[in-house]
Amino acid sequence: MKKYAITFSIVLYAFIVPFLEINDTHVFNPDWTPHAKIHEVWQLLTNSGIGLLCLWLLWVKKDTKLSAILSLLVMGGFLVAFMIKGSYGGSMKYLDGSEKTLLGINIGILGFGLAFLWIAVSHLPFLKSRN
């Protein structure tokens, strides 16, 4: 179950997020500054690279511990950025005021929140061990 929790999170941050953001709402958004766009593409490439590394660690090297830690850092970074969005003027709403939600919850928070909790619940006892 541990490997599936990590794999689920990797699919979200390394493949689904780039799929959702390489379009005119993010990477090709004409209202974004070029500087913001380079940070977006950098984040997408970095997270996808970390995801590929985590898949290799998980399924080839059988290292669930490091793969779980890296995945928690990627998703946790997003969750913290969301929690402090008011301090820097961030938002999950698009310029037209719309927001992608499921069951009234932003899809990023819902997906990353559930994936983060699944990894935490299934791995934290393992992460605390000295093995």
The pLDDT of residue 125: 65
Task: Count the alpha carbons within 13 Å of 126 in the hemisphere toward its beta carbon.
Answer: 15
pLDDT at 128 over 70: no
Q: What is the pLDDT of residues 78-96, one digit of tens each?
A: 999 999 999 999 999 998 9
User: What is this structure's pTM?
Assistant: 0.89
Paired with 106 in beta bridges are 101
Domain limits, the chain:
2-128
- The residues, ordered by sequence, that sit 6+ positions from 89 with a Cβ below 8 Å of its Cβ are none
Q: What is the pLDDT of residues 9-42, one digit of tens each?
A: 999 999 999 999 999 999 999 999 999 999 999 9
pLDDT at 130 over 80: no
33 sits in the region (left: phi over 0; alpha: psi -120 to 50; else beta) called: beta
